[in-house]
Amino acid sequence: MKTRQDILNYAKSLIGYTNYLMGAKWYNYNNDSIKPKLLDCSGFVVWAYKMAGFSIPDGTYHQWQASHEISKDELQIGDIGIMGQGGIGTFNHIGIYAGDGKWIHCNYSRNGVTLEKTNIFKYYRRFNNLVFEDNKAKPPKPSVKIKDDNKTSTTKPNSQNKKEDDEMIEKKEFLINNKKTKLDTIFKENKNYVSLQSLKDAGVLNASYDKEHKIAVITTK
């Protein structure tokens, strides 16, 4: 069955198992598609929906575009919360509503999937055109509302600010072996973090996932 509860059940199955890795999806990093060991926040949402029988886009920007605004009172299990408007910004984050005021999300700060009450998700949304077996009602037409000085207007996010990745990856230049190289970075908590995948692509190290021992393997070249 394609139900909201299915989404939550699959999402909860990764608690204590899956670790956070920026850019990780169920189909890369040698992941197991049935139970991936490494995911980022939007990849976690995509996987939970996929396992429940739904197809949604990846990346917080695209997930914002494929959904519409709902109120806090309208939240149902399986709806999503996004931290920054438009799914864009210096960094962003997305989670799945789990009911009773709780959210389940794959987050960097705790290096994995957590179920908790949190107020980090400022925008409540529901994916367009999905029909749930436990909720056949059609969703209202999507709109993006911005409140300014008690006035409400409808607008579209600036496509020039579009980013493909969840955590808003920014290219920065580094000097590696006396050679200038641009790497994917994310700025968080006053620190710059470099993507393992970009270090691998730059030939600085080798990165893979050992399924047998359930651990990331990193070796320098």
Per-block average pLDDT, block size 10, for the chain (221 residues)? Answer: 94 96 89 91 96 95 96 97 86 94 92 94 96 69 47 40 46 77 65 67 71 67 66
3-class DSSP state of 133 = coil
Neighbours of 52 (CB within 10 A): 21
The pLDDT, as a whole number, for residue 207 is 67
Q: State how far the Cα of 104 lies from the Cα of 54, in Å rounded to an integer.
A: 18
| pLDDT reported for residue 32 | 84
| Token pair belonging to 150 | 């008690």
Please state the domain extents for the chain: 4-127, 168-220
Q: What is the CA radius of gyration of the chain?
A: 18
- Cβ atoms 93, 124 nearer than 8 A: no
Q: Are 104 and 120 in contact (CB under 8 A)?
A: no
Q: Is 126 helix (H, G, I), strand (E, B) or coil?
A: strand
- The CATH H-level (homologous superfamily) assignment of domain 4-127 is endopeptidase domain like (from Nostoc punctiforme) (3.90.1720.10)
pLDDT at 158: 43
Q: What is the DSSP letter of 85?
A: G
**pLDDT for the residue 81:** 98
pTM listed for this prediction? 0.63
